[in-house]
Structure 1
Amino acid sequence: TLKSGTSGSDVKILEQNLKALGYDGFIADSTYNDDTAAAVQEWQDDLNREQTGTVKPGDAVVAPGARKVSEVKAQVGAAPSGTVLSWTATERVVTVDLDAQYEDLVKNGTKAQVKLPDGTSVEATVTEVGSPSNAADPGSGDSGSGSGDSGSGDSDKASTLPVELKVKDQKGLGNYQAASVDVTLKSESRKDVLAVPVSALVAKDGGGYALEVLKSSAPNGVEYVPVKLGMFADSMVEVSGTGISEGTVVGVPK
């Protein structure tokens, strides 16, 4: 029981949380004095409880870090039996059941883009990659995730890989608590390369591609310049070749 004259880390935790709830008139240290008791009485009054100025075991629940109450199951005034409430961590994460065939695309630290239902996007990072498991057969009545036994020979069960991503910009997630999102994994990247819209590519006779380069010295002001292709991403393609440099004007079909 915490009361005037008590000291220790429990007192400090209580006082810090009273401060966070808006109660004042005391110093959030490790000593429970009359000022602390007065704040506790105010807190008890707001909860319509007896104003004793003391905090007994069971009057408050302490967790190792901030928590968000996700569901309150108990009724005010009812006997405290069973589950009173459930909570989650305050940081929202994104989870993906990735097709196991794409396992080589993800590892801890892999960057990704998360598109929210409202069309906005936030950056995310893969922080955990689980083990592949087989999805449960809908007709089996099994509500679990499957045993992950790859030797079962059941082709009706798609193997998936649980992936967790964390979003540093929590504000960017808006008010969404549980929503379906689109996740784009960045499996490969290129820096300091030349890129053009994919639609600018022109197929050459005999294979390969070229770009329609605008040149005043060429017949009709256009010259088809062969290019070597690199990586494709976001409707753009990496290109290189003689006569292609930054700022080159190329034709793109309307």
Structure 2
Amino acid sequence: MAASRARHVVVSTCFVAAVLGAGVAAWSVVTPADSAPASARQTPAPATTTITKGDLTDTKVFSGSLGFDRPVPLPGSATGTVTWLPEPGKVIARDQPLYAVDEHPVRAMYGSVPLWRDLTRGAEGADVHQLNENLAALGYGVSVDDVFGPRTERAVRQWQEHHGLTVDGSLGADDIAFVPGEVRVASRTAQLGAPVNGDVLQLTGTTPVALVTVQPADEQRLAVGTTVSMRIGGVGDPVEGAVVDTRQDEDQGDGTVEVTIAFDPGDRDVPQGGSVQVTASGQSAHDVLSVPVAALVAGDGKAFALDVVRSSGATERVPVTVSFVAEGRAAIDGAVRQGDRVVMPS
């Protein structure tokens, strides 16, 4: 029995990476020191484990940080001199000022279509529909349609009067700008006292996201739409997230990929810049027999084997093939069955 145990191999942690990457494992046989006389030695019963049947999934953990999605620019379309800009980190909601030109606030309205013209009575289109949606959300009586009719003009006049503006019933780039929703100021691009020229602000959404940088080989594991498990700060119960964006990390210039993961923080405190551990699944093997990797011993050539404990207590070395390694276990094929006991190295 001692000789049988001596032939067990200790599988180094590099085995898992080798099987997953190149399919070649590095093995070494470790022979325990045994200098005491045979009469003075006692042979303890070997440790064993059981062959189980089930699913194995290759998972990988990535470290990242908490922040906000990639900033997008807000073009300055008003005409004049920049006289006010919000501080970075400020959250701007509907009808609140985004910036000011000649001391005239340009206010946020929600919509995906940029304001590309003055909106006045008789205009029709998606931008008019957005305006009507915003006026309705602010409590003005309008029809939410694509037409700038009498009701829209009346609502615009009421809006202008409420903000102390010239009441003329039309709106332009000096008055409003469409943004996707409630936004957060990431940085200020324009300069106070300078003419409006190009982008004014860099904006993000207000919901925290996880940001992870990965090597190109792991990009598919974190493809857009992939569901992942996350631990905020590495503690507490995991939360579910979904990959919403991947792109080349241009700042690094080494081919790495920047991954953005959206999640619902619930009532958790999510500090910007805090750490996050993201667990992503890869390949899976279903309904397979498996043993701990450490139970494998060297067989003939590059083959593997298991020392199976028979009902008599004797062990039999049984050749097996390894088809998949994940979760510290090896999926095996051979003349073995679910429930068989196999020897673990001491």
Q: TM-score, normalised by structure 1?
A: 0.57
Q: Over alpha carbons, which structure has the higher Rg? A: 2
The CA deviation string for residues 99-121 of structure 1, in whole angstroms up to 9 with x for no partner, is xxxx4454497567453424525
- 1:162 counterpart residue number: 256
The answer as to 2:119 corresponding to 1:2 is yes
How far does residue 12 in structure 1 lie from its aligned partner after superposition? 1.4
Per the TM alignment, residue 2 of structure 1 is displaced from its structure 2 partner at its CA by 2.6
Q: Which amino acid aligns with 2:126?
A: S
Residue pair 1:126, 1:163 contacting (<8 A) in 2 also: no
The answer to which structure, 1 or 2, has the higher relative contact order (CA under 8 A, 6+ apart) is 2
Residue equivalent to 2:130: 13
CA deviation profile, 1:6-50 (whole Å, cap 9, x unmatched): 43333112123344x44352211122234324544565567x443
After superposition, residues 16-31 of structure 1 pair within 5 angstroms as: 16-19=133-136, 21-31=137-147
1:232 aligns with 2:296: no
1:242 positional shift: 1.0
Residue aligning to 2:204:
88
The match for 2:152 is: 36
Residues 1:193 and 2:264 are matched in the alignment: no
Q: Is the 8 Å Cα contact of residues 289 and 331 (structure 2) preserved in structure 1?
A: yes
Kept in 2, the 8 Å contact 1:211–1:251? The answer is yes
**Amino acid of the structure 1 residue aligned with 2:306:** A
Q: How many pairs does the alignment contain?
A: 214
Q: Does 1:55 align with 2:152?
A: no
Change (3 A) 1:23 1:6: same
Provide the alpha-carbon RMSD of the alignment: 4.7
Conserved 8 A contact 1:109-1:126: no
Query: Alignment identity in percent?
Result: 23
SS at match of 1:25: coil
Contact 2:120 2:171 in 1 (8 A): yes
In structure 2, the CA distance between the partners of 1:161 and 1:30, relative to structure 1 (3 Å rule), is same
For the Cα contact (< 8 Å) 1:105–1:187, is it kept in 2? no
> Structure 1 pair 12/124, CA: closer, same or farther in 2 (3 Å)?
closer
> Using the alignment, how far apart are the partners of 1:97 and 1:183 within structure 2?
11
Aligned counterpart in structure 2 of residue 210 of structure 1, from 302, 306, 331: 306
Q: Tell me whether 1:181 sits opposite 2:181 in the alignment.
A: no
Residue identity matched to 1:163: V
Could you say what secondary structure the match of 2:170 adopts? coil
Once the two structures are TM-superposed, the CA of residue 177 in structure 1 deviates from its matched residue by: 6.1
TM-score normalised per structure 2? 0.45
Q: Report how far residue 252 of structure 1 moved.
A: 7.5
